[in-house]
Amino acid sequence: MLLDPQFRTAETDALWSPAARLRRMLAFEGALALAQAELGLLDPGAAQAVAGLCADLQATELQAGDALDADALFAEAATAGNPAIPFVRALTRAAAARSPAAADAVHLGATSQDVLDTATMLALADALDLVRAELSAAADAAARLAARHADTPIAGRTLLQQATPVTFGYKAAVWAAALDRAAEGAARAGDQAAVQLGGAVGTLPAFGARGADLRAALARRLGLADPGLCWHVLRDRVFAAGTALALACGAAAKVARDVQLLMQAEVAEAAEGQAEGKGGSSAMPHKRNPVDTLVPVAAAQAASGLLAALAPSLAAEHERPAGAWHAEWLVLPQLSTLAHAAARAVRRALDGLEVDPAAMARNLDAHRGLLAAEALASALSPALGRARAKELVERLARRARDEGAHLRALAEAEDEIRAALPPAALDRVFSHADAVEAAAAEARRILAARPAQARHQDRS
């Protein structure tokens, strides 16, 4: 068990199972034969036979007893060097049982890397789509929180210190933006998922002048992008998928970490929803531990390192590298699994998030008016000049902190301030009205600017 269950999902387990991998390899071989026939490069009957065989095999369990046994094939790969070699051998054998022409038509002109890279791209396209959907759903959940709490004041916090007020809706709108942007990144990377076809060294000599056409036809059949050339050693597409998945983990972790910080007993402004058996502690009956938010935080930490494990594959030597390609096999299933689990966990955390506006207000007020210091200085600037206003407020703020007095009381005791600001203006300053209005407006603006698809899903 290389990843504990909370860092996996049923979907990604299914996506990367040996049988699923083999099914994608069969999809490649079937589509390749049909594309060749379409361009007149292969006898249509033979192509149909291969494609039919592949379709038939895809419908089996691909386990011991079936014509192809996924576990056995991948085990053979350890000796052969890669799983495509035993796979092509077994598929050719199965084709020979149908007809010699079918056997001759299997994997024609292709190389191991063609089928393995294409199968990986099919998987990555699916993985990126799963991640995108989960991120969008999480963004929708954040957007719902943002809409509901657009006007709920909360302390803005910079460098882990209270700064000036925002609203919880603004905070949640930023979460939605983080998740939406990561979802767009996943979608963009998914659009780049391309077919691989180059033959032994990338040049497709078996097809004369038709190589590029065949690649395009194969891409169409598999629903992948046509890369326009063989990318055996041009790994930027794989790298782009990896960075999109790491971005997904990072965006989920941003939200999750914020929630963990808000859950702290001393802050207690929001909390993961409760459920039977969730987040308890056998020893400490009062504890309410974060559970869902642990996943993105840990996944993002791992994903950062996995990027460093993936990037060296960009420097793939000659026409196929001896190790850099294989390292991708180690990274991609895991990175996509972590990204999906992280996105799902953060969606769960947001869907069930318990929000406590009273606690937010209480914490905002706990500082004896100090969070209004900036607003007070701004309000005084027209009358006193900015420098004098700032100097005055800084002095009062220091006294408020040192003497434990409320900044408003100190302000009201100053003649210079009383002369400059009527009580209503002071009310406004200490109600944080400008800050709250600005944050609320910004939250609504961010929500209105969400990508169309995301908004649509939100309505559905």
DSSP string, 353-393: -EE-HHHHHHHHHTTTTGGGHHHHHHHHHHHH-HHHHHHHH
| 281 belongs to the catalytic site | yes
- For residue 184, the tally of other CB atoms under 10 A from its CB is 18
Binding positions for its own copies, 314-333, rule CB under 8 A: 314-324, 326-327, 329-331, 333
Is 247 in contact with 132 (CB distance < 8 Å)? no
By CB under 8 A, name the one of 199, 417, 421, 430 that touches its own copies: 199
Q: Is 417 in the site for its own copies (CB under 8 A)?
A: no
Residue of 320, 428, 444, 455 marked catalytic? 320
Tokens standing for residue 408: 């408003």
355 contacts its own copies (rule: CB under 8 A): no
The nearest distance, CB 211 to its own copies, in angstroms, is: 7
Q: Which of 44, 45, 148, 236 binds its own copies (CB under 8 A)?
A: 236
Pattern 37-66, binding to its own copies, x per CB under 8 A? ------------------------------
- The answer to whether 203 contacts its own copies (rule: CB under 8 A) is yes
Q: Which long-range contacts (CB under 8 A, 24 or more apart) does 400-407 make?
A: 400/368, 400/369, 400/370, 401/368, 401/370, 404/368, 405/368, 406/368, 406/369, 407/368, 407/369, 407/370, 407/372, 407/373, 407/376
Q: How far apart are CA 195 and CA 227, in angstroms?
A: 7
- Taking alpha carbons only, the member of 114, 139, 26 closest to residue 325 is 114
Contacts with its own copies, 382-401, as mask; x by CB under 8 A? ---xxx--x--xx--xx-xx
In the complex, minimum distance from the CB of residue 93 to its own copies, in angstroms, rounded to a whole number: 10
Residue 421 binds its own copies, judged by CB under 8 A: no
Closest distance of CB 146 from its own copies, Å:
12
Is 120 one of the binding residues for its own copies (CB under 8 A)?
A: no
Under the binding rule (CB under 8 A), the answer on residue 239 touching its own copies is yes
Q: Which is nearer to its own copies, 339 or 460 (CB)?
A: 339
* Owner of token pair 């909390």: 271
d(CA 77, CA 69): 12
| Contact predicate 348/255, CB 8 Å | no
Taking the C-alpha atoms of residue 354 and residue 349, their distance in angstroms, rounded to an integer, is 9
247 binds its own copies (CB under 8 A): yes
CB of residue 43 to its own copies, shortest distance in Å? 12
Report if residue 182 touches its own copies, rule: CB under 8 A: yes
**Binding marks (x or -) toward its own copies, 275..314, rule CB under 8 A?**
x-xxxxxxxxxxxxxxx-xxxxxxxxxxxxxxxxxxxxxx
Q: Are 46 and 102 in contact (CB under 8 A)?
A: yes
Chain centroid to Cα 266, Å, comes to: 30
Structure tokens at 172: 């949640």
371 binds its own copies (CB under 8 A): yes
The answer to the question of residue 14 lying near its own copies (CB under 8 A) is no
Number of residues that bind its own copies (CB under 8 A): 179
Using CB under 8 A, which of 76, 151, 356, 414 touches its own copies? 76
CA pair distance 31, 195, nearest whole angstrom? 11
Question: How far apart are CB 222 and its own copies at their closest, in Å?
Answer: 21
Among 48, 60, 99, 378, binds its own copies (CB under 8 A): 378
Q: Does 205 bind its own copies (CB under 8 A)?
A: yes
Q: Smallest distance from the beta carbon of 365 to its own copies, in angstroms?
A: 12
As measured in angstroms, the least distance from the Cβ of 432 to its own copies is 9
- The answer to whether 336 is a known catalytic residue is no
Q: Please give the distance of CA 107 from its chain centroid, rounded to a whole number.
A: 35
Residues serving a catalytic function are 281, 320
